[in-house]
Amino acid sequence: MAQVRFDKVRKAFGAAVAVEGLDLVIEDGAFVSLLGPSGCGKTTTLRMLAGLEFPTSGTIAIGDRIVNDVAPGKRDIAMVFQSYALYPHMSVGENIAYPLKKHGVAKAEREEKVAQVARTLQLEHLLARKPRQLSGGQQQRVALGRALVRDPQVFLLDEPLSNLDAKLRAHMRAELIELHRRVGRTFVYVTHDQLEAMTMSDKIAVMRDGVLQQYAPPKEVYDRPANMFVAGFIGTPPMNFLSGEMTGEPGRAAFRCAGTDLPVSLAGGASPERKVALGVRPEDVSLGSGPFTGTVRLVEPTGHETIVVVESPAGSLVTRAGADVALAIGERVPFDLEAERLHLFCAASEARLLASFTRSGAPAQA
């Protein structure tokens, strides 16, 4: 049982607050990503869990044990560092065996476990080499091996793939998913790469400026972002925001954008905020027909699709079109928004408003 629990955790470095009021429960055996831009507090959170930083206040528990005062080596965790942090003077085998040695495991058992881990990670032929003789991907696997060999309750991974090239990264993503499935332990994974978070995690904790923004499964984070930050951070290209205002009265409200009213129903009959932002994912804009028109500013064919930037009276829109779309820069193009997949945010608080849009004018339920 290795549920990880953060309870009102705060971490300040002098006047700078790195993590503020973090409440987070990571279920036993889950793969959870801490996602956010640089300086959002995700690495500090992980380091507090590892015991490399100490919370200013609040408690951290692994399983039933509060670990605030437990030394890193006694927390039954293993960590993979961004730089791998392999001991340069030790061979691959010695690196993997090191945590066992420090925990007093007998030599014969050590060797057996190292061999087993090496087999799992296909490192058998490299055991006698030194880390500097290995490629980035191999070093990565050794670092994983050093974590695996202890069979810890919780694996902590601090941007482990960020030093690899794109192809290897994709490969290692798949390996990590497979590894997690096989060992069935709790994985806490820090990344700024939303693709890694989306593809690998059971749940994503999106952080910003030390504050947890949303903690939900990847699909929910994508489909129902809690606020404009999450909405803009997840997805490539990012979500478009159109500013506009709500018109009408509660229950029969509409979002007025570029002269066109989109009927919207706000949940619970709440009175509409006057200033709102409409979030539109690039794939939810269809070019070619619709009530809106814009001018093509940029056409970026990527091979399997084409990214088209359209300038409309309501603002600039990044859209996704088919690979064979034929549009010229400067061309006027009509477009439509997929009403069922639009997001409405309060412009002031940036929080998601429970709303649903309808095409017909008859408001739908949230």
Partner 1 sequence: MTATTITGSAAAGAPRGSALDRRYAMLGLVLIAPSVMIFCMVIVYPLVSAIYLSLFSIYTPTLQGDFVGLDNYATLMASGEFWRSLLNTVIWTVCTLTLQIVFGIAVALVLHQNMAFRALARSLILFPYFVSTVVAVLVWRWLFNDLYGILNHMMMWAGLVDMPLDYLGSMPNAMISVVIVGAWKYFPFVVIAVLARLQTIPEPLYEAAKIDGAGPIARFFDVTLPQLRDVLVVIILLRAIWDFKEFDLIFLLTGGGPLISTQTLPLMVYKDAFGLNDMGRASAVAVTMMLVMLVFMIAYLRLTGREEKEAAQ
Distance CA 57, CA 273 (A): 37
Instruction: Indicate which single residue of 113, 141, 146, 180 sits in contact with partner 1 (rule: CB under 8 A).
Output: 146
Supply the minimum distance, in Å, between the C-beta of residue 51 and partner 1.
7
The piece of 29-37, 50-58, 244-252, 324-332 that touches partner 1 (CB under 8 A) is 50-58
Under the binding rule (CB under 8 A), the answer on residue 130 touching partner 1 is yes
Positions in 79-98 near partner 1 (CB under 8 A): 79, 81-83, 85-89, 98
For residue 341, give the H/E element and its range. Answer: none
Cβ closest to partner 1, residue 71 vs residue 108: 71
Q: Given candidates 71, 108, 328, 362, which one binds partner 1 under the rule CB under 8 A?
A: 71
Q: Work out which of 22, 30, 40, 77 binds partner 1, going by CB under 8 A.
A: 77
* Residue 73 touching partner 1 (CB under 8 A): yes
Strand pairing report for 186-191 and 154-158: parallel
Q: Does 46 bind partner 1 (CB under 8 A)?
A: no
Quick one: 152 or 279, whose CB is closer to partner 1? 152
* 211-216 sheet: strands from edge to edge: 77-80, 154-158, 186-191, 31-35, 203-208, 211-216
Total residues in contact with partner 1, by rule CB under 8 A: 25
Q: Closest separation between CB of residue 227 and partner 1, Å?
A: 33
**Which DSSP category does 284 fall into?**
G
Q: How far apart are CA 48 and CA 30, in angstroms?
A: 19
Nearer to partner 1, 52 or 299 (CB): 52
The first and second tokens of residue 51, run together, are: 């015991």
Q: How far is the CB of 48 from partner 1 (least distance, A)?
A: 13
d(CA 204, CA 156): 15
* Sign of torsion over alpha carbons 196, 25, 7, 227: positive
DSSP state of 259: T
Q: Kindly state the tokens that stand for 238.
A: 């990012």
Contacts of 358 (CB under 8 A, 6+ apart): 263, 264, 265, 339, 364
Q: How far is the CB of 333 from partner 1 (least distance, A)?
A: 51
Is 107 among the residues that bind partner 1 (CB under 8 A)?
no
Q: How many C-beta atoms surround the C-beta of residue 208 within 10 A?
A: 19
Q: Single out the residue of 78, 280, 296, 355 in contact with partner 1 (rule: CB under 8 A).
A: 78
Q: Is 51 in the site for partner 1 (CB under 8 A)?
A: yes
Indicate the residue among 71 and 166 with the shorter CB distance to partner 1: 71
Quote the tokens at residue 204.
């994503």
Nearer to partner 1, 46 or 317 (CB): 46
Task: Write the burial class of residue 19 (CB in 10 Å: 0-12 exposed, 13-18 middle, 19+ buried).
Answer: buried
Exposure pattern of 220-234 as b/e (b: 16+ CB <10 Å)?
ebbeebbbbbbbbbb
Q: Between 76 and 220, whose beta carbon lies closer to partner 1? A: 76
Nearer to partner 1, 59 or 133 (CB): 133
Q: Does 136 bind partner 1 (CB under 8 A)?
A: no
Structure tokens given for 107:
């030599």
Q: Is 50 in the site for partner 1 (CB under 8 A)?
A: yes
Q: Which of 72, 250, 251, 301: binder of partner 1 (CB under 8 A)?
A: 72
- Do residues 247 and 283 touch, judged by C-beta distance below 8 A? no
Cα–Cα nearest to 20, from 215, 216, 209, 228: 209
Question: Could you say whether residue 65 binds partner 1 (CB under 8 A)?
Answer: no
Binding site for partner 1 (CB under 8 A): 50-52, 71-74, 77-79, 81-83, 85-89, 98-99, 102-103, 130, 133, 146
